Amino acid sequence: MAASRRTLVILYALHSWAGIVTGLLLFIVCFSGSVVVFKNEIDLWANPSLRALPHVAQPVGPDLVLNNLAEYYPGSKVESLWYPDGINPAWTAFIKRADNPERMKIAVRADTGEVVGPVDSELGQFFRMIHVFLFFGPRWIVGFLGVAMFFLIVSGFVIHRKILKELFTARWRKSLRVTGSDLHKSLGVWGLVFHLMIAFTGAWLGLAPVFERSYSYVSGGGGARPAAMMMRNNALDRPMQMASVGALLKQAQHDMPGLQPNRIALRDVGKPNASVTFFGQVDDLWFSNARITYQGGRFKEKNDPRQNGFWSQFNGLMEPLHFGDYGGIVLKWLYFLIGLSPALLSLSGTLLWIERRKLRQRNRAGVVGAQHV
């Protein structure tokens, strides 16, 4: 019993200090994460020019979009194209102009291919940058916060093992500290499964790429230069007409049957080694981590989760589970409302720690005062 009591005391101390150290960052990440569920809706709301565009069942092809962008912005480089979807009615292009090193987000009509112009606001993307990168750091920082959140949830549940018996009890007539403590524990238990899922998927998304790169480097893959880097020579710098993206799309859907692209990444357009990658979903799966790449007009590589086994499919589940973009608007509202609770937990936990610290200081002061009487 003594050992168990000592373990709980240590766990409580670790829980408290982990919460204090990460509390502010967890609040920022969790609050922005609940908002970013509506990223696309926010971007649309913040851009009246997009809201006025019609939704079409069959948008124009990528070749027309690229040709119109080349005419509208001569000398620019298109880095990626995003397909219209159920929320955003327009093609979205990210380009770099020759006279402006900063990347621009351009909207193109889905019904005619006409260039609308720069997107006025990226408020939704702003919240995503805060949530995924804390707006300044690498993603592994947020991954470590996911680990901290997971530890806080598990340790809090272990510390307050009796909370399940008192789940519907809040001592409203007690002090503010006691009432706040009851609400803090209840809030953590009510959203326990959801919180664990968000913490685990967030940690996985932030840290899995780091472990993969580390493993590749240790196993010898990190020392080899990619073939594309070794191929560079003067011939690659001579302009050349890139193969039709539309033709490559048809080839991609042949090489990966059931591919439903939602994004196209472009690199070195106009050169013999021009790279085109199609991202999207495939039939029979509801998550979207399929990918196929062509370089110089020839097949280079692909990621078909239907063929790559369990871990590829497991990895593909992480992002939709974390961001809640696999369902409709009702699911997004659930993610938003329940997603606010970790932010409230980090805030309430910090306030409770400060209140307990003040109480201990008052008690010590009282003891010292009594000793001098």
Q: What does the pLDDT look like over 54-102, one tens digit per residue?
A: 999 999 999 999 999 999 998 889 999 999 998 999 999 999 987 777 8
The tens digit of pLDDT for each residue in 224-242 reads 444 333 333 333 333 434 5
Write down the pLDDT at residue 217. 74
**How much is the average pLDDT of 317-325?**
89
Which of 209, 188, 186 minimizes the C-alpha distance to 199? 188
**Residue 226: C-alpha distances to residues 163, 230, 278, 292, 308 (Å):** 55, 7, 20, 17, 22
DSSP 256: S
Give per-residue pLDDT as tens, 353-364.
777 777 777 666
Evaluate if residue 177 carries a pLDDT over 60: no
Q: Which of 136-140, 167-171, 270-274, 301-305 shows the lowest mean pLDDT across its residues? A: 167-171
- pLDDT of 201 over the 90 cut: yes
For the chain, the average pLDDT equals: 81
Question: What pLDDT is stored for residue 202 in this prediction?
Answer: 94
pLDDT category of residue 367 using cuts at 50, 70 and 90: low
Bridging pattern class, strands 298-303 and 115-118: unpaired
The conformation of residue 175, written as its DSSP 8-state character, comes to: -
pLDDT at 13 (0 to 100): 85
Q: Compute the distance between CA of residue 19 and CA of residue 286 in angstroms, rounded to an integer.
A: 35
Give ∠ CA 138-144-146 in degrees, rounded to 5: 115
Q: Which residues pair with 266 in a beta bridge?
A: 276
Q: Which of the two residues, 135 and 141, has the higher pLDDT score? A: 141
Task: Say which residue the tokens 């302009």 belong to.
Answer: 239
| pTM (two decimals) | 0.75
Residue 167 pLDDT greater than 90, yes or no: no
Q: State the average pLDDT over residues 277-294.
A: 87
- The confidence band for 215, taking pLDDT boundaries of 50, 70 and 90, is confident
SS3 state of residue 264: strand
What integer pLDDT is reported at residue 218 of this predicted model? 79
CB 91 within 8 A of CB 83: yes
Contacts of 215 (CB under 8 A, 6+ apart): none
Reported as a single tens digit per residue, the pLDDT across 103-124 is: 899 999 999 999 999 987 888 8
Query: Does the pLDDT value for residue 348 go beyond 80?
Result: no
The angle subtended at Cα 128 by Cα 125 and Cα 131, nearest 5°, is 155
The burial of 131, by beta-carbon neighbours within 10 Å (0-12 exposed, 13-18 middle, 19 or more buried), is given as: buried
The percent of residues above 70 in pLDDT, for the chain, comes to: 81
Question: In this structure, how many other beta carbons lie within 10 angstroms of the beta carbon of residue 249?
Answer: 20
Location of structure tokens 């272990």: 158
Please tell me the distance from the alpha carbon of residue 152 to that of residue 188, in angstroms, as a whole number.
10
Give 285's pLDDT tier (boundaries 50, 70, 90).
Answer: confident
Structure letter (DSSP) for residue 276: E
Note the helical H segments in 292-328: 310-323
